[in-house]
Amino acid sequence: MKYNYLNGKLTIYLEEELDMNSCKIIRGVIDGYIMKFQPYELVLDLSDVKFMDSSGIGLILGRYNLIRLLDSKMKVINASKNIKRMIELSNINLECVQYE
């Protein structure tokens, strides 16, 4: 996992799989970056994510809730068609999550 912080925008580049095991570690790392930088915008780039289960949905939702506490916004970008569909089917209504 890589990150980039520039001018108040924190971009996290997620990789490979977002499953129960990986999400435990990733969650703590992302939350650490959020608390360190307190960005006005969090971007989760899923371009290298090949698999995501319900733990990945929980990861996205949890970061959304945390970023809202900072009165910031969040985007999910570069999600595959299958991952987009999974997010839609989970009935998460995240008004500030966008797909690019």
For residue range 10-45, list pLDDT tens digits in order. Answer: 999 999 899 999 999 999 999 999 999 999 999 999
End-to-end CA distance of the chain: 20
What is the tens place of the pLDDT at every residue in 43-91? 999 999 999 999 999 999 899 889 999 999 998 888 888 888 887 777 6
Is the confidence at residue 96, as pLDDT, over 80?
Answer: no
Considering only the top CATH level, what class is 2-89? alpha beta
Domain locations in the chain as residue ranges: 2-89
Give strand ranges (E) for 1-100.
2-6, 9-18, 41-52, 73-77
pTM of the model: 0.88
Burial of 52 (0-12, 13-18, 19+ CB in 10 A): buried
- For position 95, what pLDDT does the model report? 47
What Rg value do the Cα atoms of the chain yield, rounded?
12
Supply 97's token pair.
């999550």
Phi then psi dihedrals of residue 4, to 5 deg: -140, 130
